[in-house]
C-alpha cells in the first residue's frame, strides 16, 4: 500500500475485486444507524408506536434539504424525498479520485443516497390506492431525471425494502434512490447478457421471454394493457416476481403518466398477493433499467423485480453462487394468483 494514497477517515469507498472484477462498497457511516446491532424484536415493538418513528410527520421537520415534496389540497405533504442521514455514498466528494492500492483499484464513493417517504405510517405500498402508487413512480422518475446527468453518475438504483427480514431498518413505508459512480455487478451482468442475446438472435431476450410466458400462461400472475407480471422460469428465490412493460422500453426515465397508472395497478396486485397469500412476507423490490453513463442501451428492457424474503444464503449458495429455490415458479404463480 502506498502511504500517499492512504486516506484517513474513509467514509465511502469502492474497492474492485481483482479476481471477479466486481466492486464492493465500503461505507462506514452506515453502521452508525440508530437501529444497528439493536435487538430486532425490541426494535420492532418500539416502532409500532408512531410517536417514535423517524419518518412520521410529527418527527420529520420540513427540512430545507428536502429534494422533492408533493403536497395535498390542505398544503400538507403526502410524499417527500430527502437525503439519507446515513448515506452509503457521499455527494461531498468532488471527484472519484481513482487510484491504486498495490494491485487493487479504488475510487471514492461519490454519489447520492435519498429516501422517499409517503405520509401514512401504517399504509404500505400494497395498501395504497393505485393513484398514490403512481405518485411514488412519478417521484422515482423525477429524482431519476434530476440525478442522471450529474457528474460521475453511471447508474441509479431505486429499491424498496419491506419488513425487517428484508433489511428495512425503519418500519415507516419508504423507498431509496441511490445514484452511483459505477454500474453495479448485477445490472452489469443483466445488461451484458441481454446485449449478447441481442447480438446472436437480433431480438430482445426479455421480449422473447414475455412472448413465451404469455403463450404458456403457467407462470403468469397479472396482465393489463401495458404490463405483465410473471414468476420467472428461472426464479432465483421462491415466489420471485418480475414486472415487465409489454412494449420494448429501455429507459425507465421515459415512462409516461398512463404507464405509471398501469404499472401501479400491476404493483398493487403483486404486493397485495404477498400480503394476503404469503402471510405478509417481507420483500425487496428494485428497478433494473439502462445505465445513465452516456451510452445507449436500446437492447435492454427495463423491469421491476420483487424478491420475497424466503431463503438465506448459506454454505452452498455462498460457495457456489447457485441459489436454491424451494418451489417451482409454476406452483408459486398458482399460489400468488389465487
Q: What does 103-161 look like in DSSP terms, one character per residue?
A: TEEEEE-B-EEEEEEES-TT--GGGS-HHHHHHHHHHHHHHHHHHHTSTT--EEEEEEE
Joined together, the cell numbers standing for residue 47 give: 416502532
Using CB under 5 A as the binding rule, the residues of this chain from 59 to 118 that contact Zn ion are none
Which residue from 130, 131, 129, 147 is spatially nearest to 289, judged by alpha carbons? 147
For 327, residues 6+ apart whose C-beta sits below 8 A from its C-beta are 238, 239
Residue 27 or 290: the one with the smaller Cβ distance to Zn ion is 290
In angstroms, rounded to a whole number, what is the distance separating the alpha carbons of residues 150 and 147?
A: 6
CB of 298 to Zn ion, least distance (A): 10
Site string for Zn ion, 243-262 (x = CB under 5 A): -----x--------------
Joined together, the cell numbers standing for residue 305 give: 423485480
Q: According to the binding rule CB under 5 A, does residue 56 interact with Zn ion?
A: yes
Binding-site member from 160, 172, 262, 309 for Zn ion (CB under 5 A): 172
Using CB under 5 A as the binding rule, the residues of this chain from 120 to 159 that contact Zn ion are 121
Give the pairing of strands 23-27 and 112-118.
Answer: unpaired
Residue 21 or 34: the one with the smaller Cβ distance to Zn ion is 34
CB of 55 to Zn ion, least distance (A): 5
Report the C-alpha dihedral over residues 138, 139, 141, 147, rounded to 10 degrees. 160
CB of 71 to Zn ion, least distance (A): 18
Residue 284: how many other CB atoms lie within 10 Å: 19
In angstroms, rounded to a whole number, what is the distance separating the alpha carbons of residues 267 and 228?
A: 10
CB of 109 to Zn ion, least distance (A): 29
Residue 204 or 332: the one with the smaller Cβ distance to Zn ion is 204
Residue 284 or 290: the one with the smaller Cβ distance to Zn ion is 290
Site string for Zn ion, 200-229 (x = CB under 5 A): ----x-xx----------------------
Residue 171 or 273: the one with the smaller Cβ distance to Zn ion is 171
Residue 54 or 335: the one with the smaller Cβ distance to Zn ion is 54
Q: Helix or strand or coil: residue 70? A: strand
Residue 172 or 268: the one with the smaller Cβ distance to Zn ion is 172
Binding-site member from 12, 14, 27, 53 for Zn ion (CB under 5 A): 53
Please report, as ranges, the residues that interact with Zn ion according to CB under 5 A: 53, 55-56, 121, 172, 204, 206-207, 248, 301
Amino acid at each position: 500500500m502506498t502511504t500517499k494514497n492512504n486516506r484517513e477517515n474513509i467514509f465511502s469507498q469502492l474497492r474492485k475485486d481483482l479476481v471477479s472484477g466486481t466492486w464492493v462498497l465500503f461505507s462506514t457511516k452506515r453502521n452508525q444507524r440508530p437501529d444497528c446491532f439493536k435487538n430486532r424484536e425490541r426494535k420492532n415493538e418500539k416502532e409500532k408506536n408512531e410517536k417514535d418513528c423517524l419518518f412520521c410527520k410529527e418527527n420529520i421537520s420540513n427540512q430545507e434539504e428536502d429534494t422533492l415534496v408533493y403536497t395535498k389540497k390542505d398544503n400538507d405533504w403526502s410524499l417527500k424525498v430527502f437525503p439519507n442521514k446515513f448515506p452509503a455514498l457521499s455527494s461531498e466528494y468532488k471527484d472519484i479520485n481513482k487510484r491504486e492500492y498495490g494491485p487493487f483499484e479504488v475510487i471514492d464513493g461519490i454519489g447520492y443516497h435519498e429516501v422517499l417517504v409517503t405520509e401514512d405510517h401504517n399504509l404500505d405500498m400494497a395498501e395504497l390506492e393505485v393513484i398514490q402508487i403512481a405518485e411514488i413512480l412519478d417521484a422515482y422518475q423525477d429524482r431519476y431525471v434530476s440525478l442522471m446527468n450529474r457528474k460521475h453518475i453511471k447508474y441509479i438504483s431505486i429499491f424498496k425494502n419491506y419488513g425487517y427480514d428484508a433489511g428495512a431498518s425503519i418500519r415507516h413505508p419508504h423507498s431509496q434512490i441511490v445514484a452511483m459512480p459505477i454500474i453495479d455487478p448485477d445490472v452489469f451482468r443483466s445488461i451484458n447478457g441481454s446485449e449478447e442475446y441481442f447480438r446472436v438472435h437480433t431480438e430482445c431476450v426479455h421480449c422473447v421471454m414475455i412472448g413465451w410466458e404469455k403463450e404458456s400462461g403457467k407462470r403468469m400472475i397479472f396482465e393489463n394493457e401495458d404490463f405483465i407480471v410473471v414468476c420467472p422460469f428461472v426464479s432465483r428465490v421462491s415466489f420471485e416476481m418480475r414486472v415487465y412493460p409489454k412494449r420494448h422500453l429501455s429507459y425507465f426515465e421515459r415512462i409516461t403518466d398512463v404507464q405509471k397508472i398501469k404499472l401501479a395497478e400491476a404493483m398493487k396486485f403483486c404486493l397485495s398477493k404477498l400480503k394476503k397469500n404469503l402471510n405478509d412476507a417481507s420483500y425487496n423490490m428494485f428497478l433494473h433499467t439502462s445505465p445513465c453513463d452516456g451510452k445507449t442501451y436500446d437492447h435492454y428492457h427495463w423491469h421491476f423485480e420483487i424478491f420475497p424474503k424466503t431463503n438465506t444464503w448459506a454454505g452452498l449458495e455462498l460457495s457456489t453462487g447457485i441459489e436454491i429455490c424451494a418451489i417451482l415458479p409454476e406452483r408459486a404463480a398458482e399460489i400468488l394468483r389465487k
